Amino acid sequence: MNVKVSVVKLQEVLDLCYRFVSKHSTLPVLENIYIKGSIDTLVFRATDMEKYIDIEIPAQIDNEWAITVNAKTFTDIVKTITDEEVKLSIDDSSDTLLIKSSSDDFKIKWIPANEYVAVPEVVWGNNIKIDPNHFSKWVSKVDYAVTERNFSPVLTWVLMRVKKYWTTNKLVFVWTDSFRLSEYKIETQGSTDELDIIVPKMNIWDIKKVSDYFISKWWEVMQITFSDNLVSFSFTVGDIKILTTSLLIQWNFPDYENENIIPTQFNTKVVVDKNSIDLSIRKISILTRDINNFIDVSIDDKNMLITSGQTDKWEAKTNTSIYKEWENMNFGINWKYIQDFIKSCESKEILLNVVSPEKPIVLKDKDDSNYTYVVRPLVK
C-alpha cells in the first residue's frame, strides 16, 4: 500500500480523531487510530467506547488494507512534517507503518485492525438538521452549569430534547448541577417526533470541537440522528465526511419544567447593564471569594445595592442603576454563578426575574429569548 496525503489535511484529521481516543485504557488498541484504505477513500476512526468518530477523505489506494497505530505517536510525527504531502505505506514483513517526507522517514508498529472496536451504527432514528454555529454557541453558553463530579451521574450529562413550540420544532439543551440550570433552544429543519435523550458532557464538548472545525470551513448545516441508545452528528466538509457518535445514558433527567424550578410568574423584573453589574460583583467578591461567594442584593425603584454582608473582618457595598418593574426585592446569591452567566451573554443588558428571596431567580440575555438561566438563591 502506498498513498500520498496532504499534510495539512492529515493534521486536521488526526487532531479531531485524537479527541476521541481513550487516554488511559487497559486495552492498548483503544489508544490507537484505525486507518483503512479502500479504492478511493482513506478512513480514520477513533473511540474510547463512549464516543466515536469516523472520518473519510479521498485518496488513491492501490489495494485494500486496514491497520491501527498509536494515536499520539502518529499525531506528533505528522505535526513535525513541513512538506505539503506525506507518503504512507505498510511493511507487512515488520508490521510497521512507514511515514516518508522529503527529509524524514518514520516507522510505527501497528496492531491488526481486527482487534479494533466496530463503530456502532445508528441504523434507525429521527433526523434533524441545525446550524452548527448555534450548536457551538449553546455548548459555550451552558456548559459551566454542569459539574464533572457529582453524587448523581445524570448531573454530569446534558439533556437534548426535541420539542414542538407552536408550529416550530426546536432542539432544547439543558444542563444543571442542581444549584443552577441552563437551557438553550435551537430551531431545527425537518420533522421528528418529540423525544428526550441524555448525552455525556465530555462527549458533547468533543463533538463541539468537530463542529468548530466544520464552521471554520464555512459549512452551514449539520445533521443529528437519534435512536434508542445512540445519537450521531454528521458533517460533510467539501470532500471530507465526518460522523461522530455518542452512547446515551439510560436515566431520567430531573423534571425541570415547573414553577418550582423555572418560575414563569414574577413579582420583580429588572433590566441592568451587563458591565455595570459585573463590575459591582467584582468589587464585592474581593471580600467574599475566600468564604462562600455570598453577596446580598437589594433592589429598589432605581438602584441595585450589592453588599458583602457584615462579617467580623469587613463589610462592603456598591450601587448600580437599573430599570425595575413592580416590587422592591432583597435576596442572597452566589456571585460566581451570576458572573458565569454574564460572561456568556452577548447583549449589553441582562434581565433578572424574581419571585421571592426563597424562589429560583431566572436570568435572561435581553436579546436572546432562547437562552434561560436559573439560579437558586442563598439563605442569609
**Tens of pLDDT, residues 12-62:** 999 999 999 988 777 888 899 999 988 889 999 999 999 999 999 988 887
Confidence of residue 132 (pLDDT cuts 50, 70, 90): confident
Q: Is 155 helix (H, G, I), strand (E, B) or coil?
A: helix
CA distance 244 to 346: 29
Burial category of 14 from C-beta neighbours within 10 Å (exposed 0-12, middle 13-18, buried 19 and up): buried
Confidence of residue 84 (pLDDT cuts 50, 70, 90): very high
- Stated length of the chain: 380
pLDDT at residue 150 in the model: 45
Q: Classify domain 2-115 by CATH architecture.
A: Roll (3.10)
For all residues of the chain together, what is the average pLDDT?
87
Where residue 59 falls (left for φ over 0; alpha for ψ -120 to 50; beta otherwise) is beta
CA distance 110 to 90: 9
pLDDT at residue 142 in the model: 64
Residue 237 has pLDDT above 90, yes or no: no
**Residue ranges of the chain that CATH labels 3.10.150.10:** 2-115, 126-234, 268-375
CA distance 295 to 339: 12
Burial category of 267 from C-beta neighbours within 10 Å (exposed 0-12, middle 13-18, buried 19 and up): middle
The CATH T-level fold of domain 126-234 is DNA Polymerase III; Chain A, domain 2 (3.10.150)
Where residue 45 falls (left for φ over 0; alpha for ψ -120 to 50; beta otherwise) is beta
Confidence of residue 155 (pLDDT cuts 50, 70, 90): low
Confidence (pTM): 0.84
pLDDT at residue 265 in the model: 94
pLDDT at residue 219 in the model: 74
Confidence of residue 8 (pLDDT cuts 50, 70, 90): very high
pLDDT at residue 144 in the model: 64
pLDDT at residue 197 in the model: 85
Residue position matching grid coordinates 488513491? 60
State the average pLDDT over residues 195-212. 87
pLDDT at residue 148 in the model: 47
Please say whether the structural domain 268-375 has been given the CATH code 3.10.150.10: yes
pLDDT at residue 218 in the model: 76
